[in-house]
Homo-oligomer: A and B are copies of this chain.
Amino acid sequence: MSFTAKELLTKRGVKLTSQRLVITEYLMQTYEHPTADEILAAVAEKLPMALSRATVYNTLKTLVDAGVIREVLTEPGRTRYDANTSEHHHFVDVKSGRIVDIPQEMLPDIQKVLGDKYNVKSYTVTFYGDLNEDSK
């Protein structure tokens, strides 16, 4: 049930290029939530050719639009990216900066609590605090 990067891109109608593959693969195998610059640094060395910043940003936008990855906003001024596209939320460990996933099911159903004045299409919850030491 778990797709390869190649299968995922094909399934979502994204044309295959080596840049798109390696960026998608990188995001699928990390549990961190890297920024565009972090992705560029990590992925550049895996590619035989040069990788331009414009391509990283173009690719990330393409992947977000295609639903292959999502943006994560936890702090001002830096957009992070996440290959986990299931509905989930984030916990920021304020000491280490680590960002861990919180599945939708861990939260009570707040989709409906706002009543009919607000037509909620989506929502995000970001928690800030300390992660107790037994962190995976």
Chain A residues within 8 Å of B, Cβ to Cβ: 71, 73-77, 79, 91, 94, 102, 106-108, 110, 113-114, 116-132, 134
A120 to chain B, nearest CB (A): 4
B127 touches A120 (CB 8 A): yes
B94 touches A116 (CB 8 A): no
A113 touches B108 (CB 8 A): yes
Taking a contact as CB atoms closer than 8 A, the residue among B76, B110, B117, B118 that contacts A125 in the complex is B110
A59 to chain B, nearest CB (A): 16
Taking a contact as CB atoms closer than 8 A, the residue among B76, B77, B113, B124 that contacts A126 in the complex is B124
Chain B residues within 8 Å of A110, by CB: 107-108, 110, 125
A125 touches B124 (CB 8 A): yes
Q: Please, which residue of chain B has its CB at the minimum distance from the CB of A134?
A: B117
